[in-house]
Amino acid sequence: MENSRPQDLALLVQNKLRLAKNRTTVPDIGILEALFDCLFFSSMCKEESDLIRVTVTFIDPSNPDPTPPKIIVPERWSFVAFERPIAMSTKSLAKLSKAADPSCSSLAVYYNEQGQLFVWGMIDQAMHYQNFLNYESDTHSEQPGLFQVAVSDIGTLHVLFDYELLATLKQNVLVKRYLDVLTIGPISKILKKNAELLKLNIKEYLTEAYPEEAYEDWEEYLDGLWIQTFSRLLLKIQNYQHGGAILIADDHEDLDIKYKIHYQRLTNAMIAHARSAIDNFFFERTIDEQLEAGRRSINKRLYQHEALSINTKKGTGDEISGAISFIASQSCVDGVVLFDRNMVANGFGTVLRAKRMPRKIYVSATSTASSKSLTADDPKHYGTRHRSMIAYCWNHPNALGLVISQDGEIRVFSKIEDKLIMWENIKTQQYMTNKSQRQKTQMLKPSGQA
């Protein structure tokens, strides 16, 4: 939705609160408008030469934790109140933002009887929430307050309800839906097909080590591991706020690779991680079956193998994290990071030499790129980095290109039949709308990282 304002975001949030199952008190629209106005204008301010980046939690100080769980995990959020509440303004937010890194904390905000907004404290332990969203952890817990608002860039506000991203206001554009192209549609099919080396290796491993295990039972997990690893790479590049591009190509035609490498460690680490996950599953299941059968004693070697598989799984998860960081940093050099189909990095600082451009590109409003969802656009409307990717993908139909702008926007390009399709507003984080989705994700993921 173009030509949107903070008031449009406020109306969206109020409607969401009215539909909430817990039926909490819904703030007046004027209060929500004042909140989003203040955050929107704060995003344009600077504090000690840095842009304001902060997260606020809309939470009632008189009843901050109305329904705590029966079991409180050690890493659960808590709050610390200021001695006196502070009137919420662009100036106070700018000052407090330096003490509230959004990767680990947020500011607690609410309103008084006069409808005036104030900052009354801080929320801690937000790093675990961020780690889950970024696929760095498989643990999650409920979030505090009615909702959260994150200021990530100039004029950019993200509204979150628990693990659901309700909407994002980017300057004057209100984005209410992000496209899940990495798990649905033609882009997802391309990426899953690229996981053939991983799948073939694990299929052989199952045949040799656990012939009674069906490969089909593990294929969904392997697809998830591959897609999540790719998502984490994109998120890491986004966090540099430098901009960058990734190209997955069959050959090096029309490419000028400034720094050629052959880095296969990411793929090898995923293979090792999947193997250790299978080992761990097998040993845990065997122990559980023997205990359920009433066995009084269990061979200590089973416990030793189980402990070893856990350590190996954690170690290979750490290895994946390190390989992702190693590759992501290469995106800070001007040019494209080049991959082959097996997620082997073949170089960076790559210049795309293809020149012939399509007359039109087609922007897809859905992950599946159905004909009804396509809108024609002129490729000349885009910058140099985008145009070079458009030209390359147009001339090389099997290529997959991704461009990450400095503001974090990701656009994906691929030629489908006779059209060059572009997807934007891509979902990369692990946003979910309900608990059952989170439970399914936790089942699919190996414990540890990746």
Q: What angle do CA 99, 159, 154 make, to 5 degrees?
A: 60
DSSP-assigned beta bridge partners for residue 47: 50
> Under a CB-based contact definition with an 8 Å cutoff, are residues 284 and 306 in contact?
yes
* Residues 356-408 pLDDT 10s: 999 999 999 999 999 999 999 999 999 999 999 999 999 999 999 999 998 88
| Domains assigned to the chain | 6-175 (3.40.1700), 186-444 (3.40.1700.10)
With CA atoms as reference, report the closest residue to 35 among 25, 47, 43.
Answer: 43
Q: Please report, in angstroms and rounded to a whole number, the separation of the first and last CA atoms in the chain.
A: 35
pLDDT at 49: 82
Rg (CA), the chain: 24
Portion of the chain with pLDDT greater than 90, in percent: 72
Residue 435 has pLDDT above 70, yes or no: no
**Token representation of residue 442:** 């936790």
Prediction pTM value? 0.86
Q: How far apart are CA 294 and CA 118, in angstroms?
A: 60
